């Protein structure tokens, strides 16, 4: 009887609401606002979060599982020696300003990204390209200086999307791409709006409009979701509130993995961290599980090296640095610091860093290392830690996919300089054979783990809180993206 | 003695006592985090429960009381040590060019919103307890300088000052030996009120992360840390909030009570 009554009520409500027409607009919140809208010129992740796949597309793209799938390139042929890629493009691709996307645009985009005066944040992705040739309007040939096993993967990055010479000048404020959504409006500090591209070459999006909002304060984020001001929050900043959303039938909580290796960044050129024994002592002084439980309320996977655990090539190296304060003290004594030392611990705003920092400082204090915490805003962190390298320790999550190559750059902020590792990376880039790559990647992971370059903490989890009726959201974050092209509302 | 004064003095004394005891003993070491023990509600082992790192909240409140009182006390100390002599000097040289400069300088400081400037100072020179003390202290200077001048001015017209002058005492000696003792009561009353404002300012600064840095305990930061936990573990936010409330309430009641007793202007009105 009750059930019948309920059914009748639901039916009546559905009728009042206008039958089975599903909602076609969505409001998505993310933590940070993009500083500009040019994914080929800015390093900020928030640019990709808003625009990747929605507005801009590359030759290839990542799907929600991190697999590389075709983008505006229908398919491709690879020459036998692995140095020439011939991409066959979809023929009916149009930019949002009405100009067509053809091989000339691909050549323009790649040449622009790899040119000497390019401001691309990931220039390394294009380093091996020696020539881009237009064969005909739907075919483009890319020549590499040597075989590169990760070339198709590189072309899927947000930094490698296809842009047009006609619209490049104003790309930072008026992004013109080929995606299923067009950029419509950006009210800085408030919201960014996208509308459906009805001339899209592929499967049209189910949503007609999408609004992005930017909420970095955890309390405000909680309030916005609870009050249903936003439909989806990708990268919800307060893990402690997730159980409440899980218990609430209005919401669904998706917890997935990211490419974010959260590390205790260590300045390898600054004494005493130039001493391997000291870095090893720090690694043994850290209790990863306590950090995951205390800072992330249990969300996160411990890592022993700079590699994503869900990647098939991951090597479990946690055994190199188990939590062992006694051993850490012995190592410090051996390194010549029986009474420990004082250093700095500079923390950016996210809670994994602020909370994790307090926990790590407490753990380091147990072995005699006094890490003085200073909390920085992102701009200060970029200036002091990332650019000026004025830090002893820091905590940050490296969210770029497959970014172990940063250890081959001695100028990178943690200043690790190992010629063997650099040679290994050169070899890796030249290897296309999967088994060979796996072996080389395993060796690379082992080297940085045994050199204790940084304290390896955990793989960042990403939580998406959405209204129960939203379908098609990415659970994982193989790259920073909120792909709305396949998102829809349940009827 | 008024009831407000008694209640105020009692509340203040409780927190001062907690802060003093924390130098000798706290229930638990707050620098050692016990993550598995986190967010426990108040129980026999942890009278006020534990926070998100498993730290004992009672211990945190005791250590936080120490920070709050130390910062506020030193800030008021700076204000008094600089403000009172400035006020005395101004009153002694009333109407002179220097008097004008000092008082207009005070107006200038008064014209700035104090908390915003405190944020600026701590943001530029780095967040630390010392910078918080300086930032709060600077804004106490004009408060004391103005009050001192205002209450010292009429004293200069009084007979006992006149006789001191006749004796050949210098302006400085008169200020120190005759004026200052007569306005000391009022300074203590004002000091109590400024002290409560100092506690609030310290809590505000550390709430936005610009006060004492971890692992130093601070009520404002406890409150900030507890923000997202309010719906899960309300006690974590309630306790530091109540601590701030009760301490400031106590100081205000005490300040009012003291003023009723010591301010001659108010006494006259009442009788």
DSSP labels, A387-451: IT---SEEEEEE-STT-GGGGG-TTSTT----HHHHHHHHHHHT---HHHHHHHHHHHHHHHHHT
pLDDT band for position B36 (cuts 50, 70, 90): confident
pLDDT of residue B38: 87
Which chain A residues are closer than 8 Å to B125 by Cβ?
none
Q: What is the DSSP letter of A198?
A: T
Considering only residues B269 and B207, tell me which one the structure prediction assigns the higher pLDDT: B207
Residue B71, CA distances (Å) to B77, B126, B196, B242 in order: 10, 16, 11, 19
* Contact residues, chain B, for A361 at CB < 8 Å: 214-215
CB atoms within 10 A of CB A194: 28
Q: Do the beta carbons of residue A357 and residue A347 sit within 8 Å? A: yes
User: Cβ distance A173 to A36 under 8 Å?
Assistant: yes
3-state secondary structure of B15: helix
Percent of chain B with pLDDT over 70: 97
Structure tokens at A422: 């650099």
Please name the residue that has the structure tokens 């050129």: A269
Q: Which DSSP state fits B133?
A: H
Q: Which long-range contacts (CB under 8 A, 24 or more apart) does B93-98 make?
A: B93/B171, B94/B149, B94/B153, B94/B156
With beta carbons less than 8 A apart as the criterion, state whether A456 and A449 touch: yes
Please state, rounded to an integer, the average pLDDT across all residues of chain B.
Answer: 89
- Spatial distance between the Cα atoms of A437 and A427, rounded to a whole number of angstroms: 9
In which band, very low, low, confident or very high, does the pLDDT at B208 lie, cut at 50, 70 and 90?
confident
**Mutating which of B119, B126, B131, B214 best tests the A interface, going by the most A Cβ atoms within 10 A?**
B214
Does B53 contact A244 at a Cβ distance shorter than 8 Å? no
CB contact under 8 A, A240 and B36: no
d(CA A256, CA A233) in angstroms, rounded, equals 13
* Closest chain B CA to residue A218: B228
Residues of chain A whose C-beta is under 8 A from some C-beta in B? 218-219, 222, 238, 240-241, 243-244, 290, 293-294, 355, 357-359, 361-363, 365-366, 372-375
CB contact under 8 A, A374 and B33: no
Distance from the Cα of B181 to chain A's closest Cα (Å) equals 44
Picking from A244, A358, A373, the nearest residue to B231 by CB comes out as A244
Closest Cβ opposite residue B32 in set A219, A238, A362: A362
CB atoms within 10 A of CB B206: 30
Measured from the Cβ of residue A332, the count of other Cβ atoms closer than 10 Å reads 26
C-alpha–C-alpha distance, residues A226 and B219, integer Å: 27
Q: What backbone phi and psi angles, to 5 degrees, belong to B212?
A: -60, 135
Q: How far apart are CA A262 and CA A265, in angstroms?
A: 9
Strands A60-62 and A68-70: antiparallel
* Inter-chain CB pairs, A–B, below 8 Å: 59
Region B17-22: what's the mean pLDDT? 94
Burial class, A372, CB count within 10 angstroms (exposed 0-12 / middle 13-18 / buried 19+): middle
Per-residue pLDDT at A430: 79
Length of chain A: 491
- The whole-number pLDDT of residue B252 equals 93
A155-164, A196-205, B70-79, B119-128: which range is least confident on average?
A: B119-128
In the prediction, which pLDDT does A18 show?
47
Contact A177, A51 (CB under 8 A): yes
Residue A48 to residue A40: CA distance in whole angstroms: 10
Smallest CA–CA distance, residue B128 to chain A, in Å, is 9
Q: How far is B127 from chain A (nearest CA, A)?
A: 7
The count of C-alpha atoms lying within 13 angstroms of the C-alpha of B202, restricted to the half-sphere facing its C-beta, is 34
Would you call B231 and A294 a contact, using CB atoms and an 8 Å cutoff? no
Nearest CA in chain B to A289: B35
pLDDT in tens, chain A (491 residues): 455 555 555 444 444 444 457 789 999 999 989 989 999 987 788 899 999 999 999 999 999 888 899 999 999 999 988 899 999 999 899 999 999 999 999 999 999 999 988 888 888 889 889 999 999 999 999 999 888 878 999 999 999 999 999 999 999 999 999 999 999 999 998 999 999 999 999 999 999 999 999 998 888 999 999 999 999 999 999 998 999 999 999 999 999 999 899 999 999 999 899 999 999 999 999 999 999 999 999 999 999 999 999 888 999 999 999 999 999 999 999 999 999 999 999 999 888 999 999 999 999 999 999 999 988 888 889 889 999 999 999 999 998 888 898 999 898 999 999 999 999 998 888 787 888 889 999 999 999 999 999 999 999 999 999 999 999 999 999 888 999 999 999 87
pLDDT tier at B214 (50, 70, 90 boundaries)?
confident
Q: A364: nearest CA in chain B?
A: B32
Query: How far is the C-alpha of B234 from the C-alpha of B3, rounded, in Å?
Result: 32
pTM to 2 decimal places: 0.82
Residue A123 DSSP code: G
Helix and strand element counts for chain A (H, E): 13, 19
Which among B29, B32, B34, B35 is the top mutation candidate for probing chain A, defined by the most A β-carbons within 10 Å of its own β-carbon?
B35
Cis check: omega of the bond before A272, within 30 degrees of 0: yes
What residues contact residue A461 under an 8 Å CB cut-off, 6+ apart? A239, A255, A256, A257, A258, A296, A299, A300, A301
Residue B1: the pLDDT is 66
- The C-alpha atoms of residue A409 and residue A418 are separated, in whole angstroms, by 9
């Amino acid at each position: 009887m009750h059930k019948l009554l309920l059914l009748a009520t639901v039916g009546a409500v559905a009728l009042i609401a206008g039958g089975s027409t599903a909602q076609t607009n969505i409001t998505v919140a993310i933590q940070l606002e993009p500083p500009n809208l040019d994914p080929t010129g800015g390093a900020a992740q928030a640019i990709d979060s808003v625009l990747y796949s929605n507005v801009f597309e590359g030759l290839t793209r990542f799907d929600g599982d991190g697999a590389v799938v075709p983008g505006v390139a229908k398919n491709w042929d690879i020459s036998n020696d692995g140095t020439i890629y011939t991409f066959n493009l979809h023929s009916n691709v149009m930019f949002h300003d009405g100009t067509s996307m053809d091989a000339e645009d691909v050549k323009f985009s790649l040449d622009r990204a790899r040119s000497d005066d390019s401001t691309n944040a990931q220039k390394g992705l294009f380093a091996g390209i020696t020539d881009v040739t237009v064969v005909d309007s739907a075919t483009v040939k890319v020549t590499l200086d040597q075989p590169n096993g990760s070339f198709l993967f590189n072309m899927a990055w947000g930094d490698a999307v296809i842009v047009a010479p006609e619209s490049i000048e104003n790309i930072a404020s008026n992004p013109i791409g080929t995606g299923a959504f067009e950029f419509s409006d950006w009210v800085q500090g408030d919201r960014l709006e996208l509308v459906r591209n009805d001339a899209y070459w592929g499967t049209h999006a189910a949503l007609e409009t999408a609004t992005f909002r930017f909420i970095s304060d955890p309390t405000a984020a909680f309030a916005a979701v609870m009050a249903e001001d936003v439909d989806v929050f990708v990268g919800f900043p307060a893990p402690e509130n997730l159980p409440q959303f899980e218990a609430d039938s209005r919401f669904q909580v998706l917890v997935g993995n990211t490419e974010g290796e959260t590390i205790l960044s260590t300045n390898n050129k600054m004494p005493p961290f130039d001493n391997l024994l000291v870095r090893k002592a720090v690694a043994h002084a850290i209790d990863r599980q306590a950090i995951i439980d205390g800072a992330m309320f249990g969300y996160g996977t411990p890592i022993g090296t700079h590699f994503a655990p869900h990647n098939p090539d991951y090597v479990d190296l946690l055994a190199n640095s188990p939590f062992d304060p006694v051993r850490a003290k012995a190592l410090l004594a051996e390194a010549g610091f029986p009474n420990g030392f004082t250093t700095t611990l500079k923390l950016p705003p996210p809670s994994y860093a602020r909370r994790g920092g307090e926990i790590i400082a407490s753990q380091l204090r147990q072995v005699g290392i006094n890490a003085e915490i200073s909390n920085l805003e992102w701009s200060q962190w970029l200036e002091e830690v990332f650019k000026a390298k004025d830090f002893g320790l820091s905590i940050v999550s490296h969210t770029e996919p497959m970014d172990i190559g940063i250890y081959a750059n001695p100028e990178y902020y943690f200043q690790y300089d190992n010629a063997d590792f650099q040679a290994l990376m050169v070899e890796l880039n030249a290897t296309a054979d999967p088994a060979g790559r796996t072996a080389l990647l395993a060796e690379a992971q082992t080297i940085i783990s045994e050199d204790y370059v940084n304290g390896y903490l955990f793989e960042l989890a990403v939580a998406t809180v959405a209204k129960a009726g939203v379908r098609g959201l990415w659970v994982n974050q193989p790259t920073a993206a909120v792909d709305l092209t396949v998102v829809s509302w349940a009827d | 003695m008024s009831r407000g004064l008694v209640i105020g003095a009692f509340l203040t004394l409780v927190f001062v006592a907690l802060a003093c005891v924390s130098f000798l003993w706290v229930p638990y070491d707050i620098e050692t985090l016990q993550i598995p023990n986190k967010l426990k509600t108040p129980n026999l082992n942890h009278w006020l429960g534990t926070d998100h790192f498993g730290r004992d909240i009672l211990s945190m409140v005791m250590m936080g009381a120490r920070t709050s009182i130390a910062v506020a006390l030193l800030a008021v100390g700076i204000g008094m040590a600089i403000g009172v002599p400035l006020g005395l000097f101004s009153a002694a040289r009333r109407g002179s060019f220097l008097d004008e400069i000092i008082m207009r300088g005070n107006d200038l400081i008064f014209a700035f919103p104090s908390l915003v400037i405190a944020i600026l100072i701590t943001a530029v020179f780095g967040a630390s307890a010392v910078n918080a003390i300086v930032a709060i202290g600077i804004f106490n200077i004009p408060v004391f300088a103005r009050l001192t001048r205002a209450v010292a001015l009429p004293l200069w017209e009084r007979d006992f000052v006149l006789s001191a002058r006749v004796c050949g005492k210098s302006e400085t000696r008169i200020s120190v030996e005759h004026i200052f003792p007569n306005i000391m009561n009022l300074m203590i009353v004002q000091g109590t009120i400024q002290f409560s404002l100092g506690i609030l300012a310290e809590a505000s600064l550390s709430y936005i992360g610009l006060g004492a840095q971890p692992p130093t305990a601070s009520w404002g930061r406890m409150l900030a840390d507890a923000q997202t936990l309010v719906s899960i573990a309300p006690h974590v936010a309630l306790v530091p909030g109540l601590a701030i409330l009760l301490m400031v309430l106590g100081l205000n009641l005490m300040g009012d009570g003291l003023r009723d007793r010591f301010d001659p202007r108010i006494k006259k009105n009442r009788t």
